[in-house]
Amino acid sequence: MTDFSSCIYSPAIRTRRAELLGLSKVDRPFEYGVLPVFELTRSRRTKSNPEGSVEKSVEDVSELVGGAPYVADVTSLRSLTNSDVERLLDPDNCFSNWTSFVTSKLPENAIPVIHLTDPFDRDSVSAQIDVFMPRQGRVALRIPSEFEDCEALADVVREVIGSGDNLAVYVDVGLVTERGRGGAIARVREVASIFSDLSPGLLAPLATSFPSTVTPYGDETGSFVLNEVGISDALKDDFPDLNCIHGDYACIHPLDMEGMAINWVPRVDVPLDGSLFYHRHRRHTGGYVRAAEAALADSRYVALNCWADSNIRAAAAGSPDGKAPAFWISVRLNFHVERQLARLGA
């Protein structure tokens, strides 16, 4: 059974290769209190796995976490779905495909998310809890911050579960700009207050400031605030008697990039405690080597003893281990998770 009191950080991570690689290179994350929310996606297609089975994604997660607890959700991004994933999101028969998948394919250390419908269906929520609790012993709610039926949802959970000890509540605000931070904090506070009397075992926001493109912040270099840190800190201040922890999207943009025309420019991102800066150099002007050199020479750079720091240094020395954007997504995620754990005192 998960002791939620030992958790300090809960990043939402999709089971695509780049994100799993970045997390796999974090030093003992589960010992230090990381409780990942894995959004199950189709797996990487291969000759032996032509359809990209979602079961292979579960295997990848299990290999990464071992017996450590994690929250299991399902992605809604079209670019990462297939028929397997779509079936798990089918609301028919109280999400029977999802409940069957959880009980037959997920290990007992997985904490399933209760899927919600619009309009709200209290019977669906109740039925999912009835299936999950006897085997898994814990459940999670991932509530959109603008969900209109929070009070009805809380009532159902109160009736079926009673105590919130075995409940993790996430308030999802998605992409948050600096201008929108105040509104996001207010929405998180409102949802959290509705569930506060349940004393959930864990309460966390999920947010990110990472944009679809960085160019509005500067072409060759720029920076922006990580509003997700301020949102989590505000939640902790508002509810000091609850187990409020930091949650985010692990410095990844939350929306689907499918169909967007992207002019790829090599870029090295450096997440800090509450902000991020980057350097970009086009391939004909030095690419990742020049970008890494500039990042290391930047007075804002704060070193960490981690995989990401080592990769930036290798690239600056002229030998980048990867020259594709996906590899540098892994580097950014790794640096961010390590940085947040250091900030949180792990």
Structural domain includes residue 51: yes
Residue 34 lies in a domain: yes
Q: Tell me, what's the pLDDT at 261?
A: 47
> Cα(144)–Cα(284) distance, rounded to whole angstroms?
43
Q: How far apart are CA 207 and CA 323, in angstroms?
A: 28
**Residue 263: how many other CB atoms lie within 10 Å:** 7
Could you tell me if residue 197 is left (phi over 0), alpha (psi between -120 and 50 degrees) or otherwise beta? alpha
Rounded to whole angstroms, the Cα distance separating 254 from 76 reads 10
Q: Cα torsion for 36, 38, 39, 45, to the nearest 10°? A: 140
CA proximity to 114, closest of 99, 92, 93, 134:
99
On whether residue 280 sits in a domain, the answer given is no
pTM across the whole model: 0.95
pLDDT of residue 262: 62
The per-residue pLDDT for 48 is: 66
The residue type found at 255 is L
Domain count, the chain: 1
Considering the domain boundaries, does residue 296 fall inside one? no
What's the CATH number where 131 sits? 3.20.20
At 179 the pLDDT is 96
Structural domain contains residue 309: no
Q: Supply the range of the domain harboring residue 100.
A: 4-262
Which letter, b or e, does each residue of 208-236 get, where b requires 16 or more Cβ atoms within 10 Å of its Cβ?
Answer: bbbeeebeeeeeebbebbbbbbbbbebbe
- Per-residue tens of pLDDT for the chain, all 346 residues: 567 999 999 999 999 999 999 999 999 999 999 999 999 999 887 776 767 799 999 999 999 999 999 999 999 999 899 999 999 999 999 999 999 999 999 999 999 999 999 999 999 999 999 999 999 999 999 999 999 999 999 999 999 998 789 999 999 999 999 999 999 999 999 999 999 999 999 999 999 999 999 999 999 999 999 999 999 999 999 999 999 999 999 999 998 765 454 678 999 999 999 999 999 999 888 899 999 999 999 999 999 999 999 999 999 999 999 889 999 999 999 999 999 999 999 7
- 113 in a structural domain: yes
If one counts every other C-beta atom within 10 angstroms of the C-beta of residue 167, the result is 24
Helix residue ranges per DSSP H, 265-324 = 287-297, 307-316
Of 134, 293, 183, 111, the closest CA to residue 191 belongs to 183
For residue 132, being part of any structural domain is answered with yes
- Name the CA dihedral angle for 327, 330, 335, 336, rounded to a multiple of 10 degrees: 140
Q: Residue 259: its pLDDT value, please? A: 47
User: In this structure, is residue 167 part of a structural domain?
Assistant: yes
